[in-house]
């Protein structure tokens, strides 16, 4: 079990029963220390990153909620956007974005509650996109609600064994060597790029590939950028 609590003076059950929801949330966030990023996501052989697993977050939160008599649950959950994207192999995948409101309720006075709103994205070739998006949003509902820190070290510095894994920024390139360079971005891909990237990021993409229009990006490069942006959002 991860070390998630600090040694603090714990109030008695009777004292906890008299607290309002804000006092309980404050005490709870004081006791939860941090949750380590124990999950490794592999986008490819060279593209890997560390993430927080939902199971680790739940393991940290459950005993604290029980102690301070707080009940949390998904109060609202709605799909705000959905569509399909094409991966680097040309396969279509379902993409979905959900808005989730996590409600933290004072068990001793159920009229008191705190709502935390988060958004989550999910991508899957089958029917798991909604579940992935909801899991992501729920996980960050707890992390934000209790102000839980995440990382491999409490001070956020990379561990020595991780320093060798930091990749250097790629040099500017053209698309001349891209496989399928004559097959340009689809209208669906352009639509997703305009939703996912800011105006500044889109300008940087044009500069990076030395082109004057998004329509001149190859289908393969567009797919890679969309996948990378999605993976960054799900960390």
Q: Are residues 120 and 217 in the same domain?
A: no
For 83-121, b/e burial (b = at least 16 CB within 10 A) is eebbeeeeeebbbbbbbbbbbbbbbbeeeeebebebebb
Domain that holds residue 201: 168-233
Residues 84 and 43 in one domain: yes
Report if residue 115 sits inside a domain: yes
Give a yes or no: residue 160 inside a domain. no
CA-based radius of gyration for the chain: 22
Q: What is the pLDDT along the chain (235 residues), one digit of tens a residue?
A: 555 544 557 789 999 999 999 999 999 998 887 888 877 766 555 566 777 888 899 999 999 999 999 999 999 999 998 888 887 777 888 888 999 999 999 999 999 999 999 998 888 888 888 888 999 899 999 999 999 988 644 444 444 444 344 343 344 444 544 444 457 888 888 888 888 877 777 777 777 777 778 888 888 888 888 887 777 665 5
Predicted confidence at residue 103, as pLDDT, reads 97
Same domain flag for 108 and 181:
no
Does 50 share its domain with 146?
yes
Nearest to 134 by CA among 84, 194, 80: 80
| Final residue before a domain boundary, out of 109, 127, 155 | 155
Number of independent structural domains in the chain: 2
Model pLDDT, residue 145: 93
8 A C-beta contact, residue 142 and residue 72: yes
What pLDDT is stored for residue 114 in this prediction?
Answer: 96
Cα angle vertex 191, ends 186, 196, to 5°?
125
Final residue before a domain boundary, out of 155, 185, 204: 155
Is 226 domain-assigned? yes
Considering the domain architecture, whether residues 53 and 87 belong to the same structural domain is answered as yes
Q: Are residues 132 and 74 part of one domain?
A: yes
């Amino acid at each position: 079990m991860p070390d998630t609590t600090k040694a603090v003076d714990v109030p008695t059950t009777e004292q906890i029963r008299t607290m309002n929801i804000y006092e309980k949330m404050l005490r709870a966030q004081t006791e939860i220390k941090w949750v380590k990023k124990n999950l490794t996501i592999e986008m490819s052989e060279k593209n890997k990153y560390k993430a927080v697993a939902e199971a680790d977050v739940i393991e940290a939160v459950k005993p604290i909620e029980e102690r301070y008599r707080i009940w949390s649950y998904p109060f609202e959950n709605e799909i705000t956007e959905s569509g399909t994207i094409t991966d680097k192999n040309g396969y279509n995948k379902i993409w979905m974005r959900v808005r989730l409101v996590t409600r933290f309720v004072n068990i001793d006075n159920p009229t008191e509650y705190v709502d935390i709103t988060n958004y989550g994205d999910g991508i899957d070739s089958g029917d798991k996109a909604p579940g992935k998006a909801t899991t992501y949003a729920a996980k960050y509902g707890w992390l934000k609600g209790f102000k839980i820190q995440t990382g491999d070290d409490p001070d956020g510095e990379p561990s020595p064994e991780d320093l060798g894994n930091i990749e250097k920024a790629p040099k500017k390139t053209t698309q001349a060597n891209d496989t399928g360079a004559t097959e340009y971005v689809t209208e669906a891909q352009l639509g997703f790029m305009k939703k996912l990237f800011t105006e500044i990021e889109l300008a940087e993409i044009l500069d990076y590939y030395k082109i004057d229009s998004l329509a001149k990006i190859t289908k393969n490069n567009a797919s890679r950028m969309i996948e990378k942006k999605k993976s960054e959002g799900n960390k």
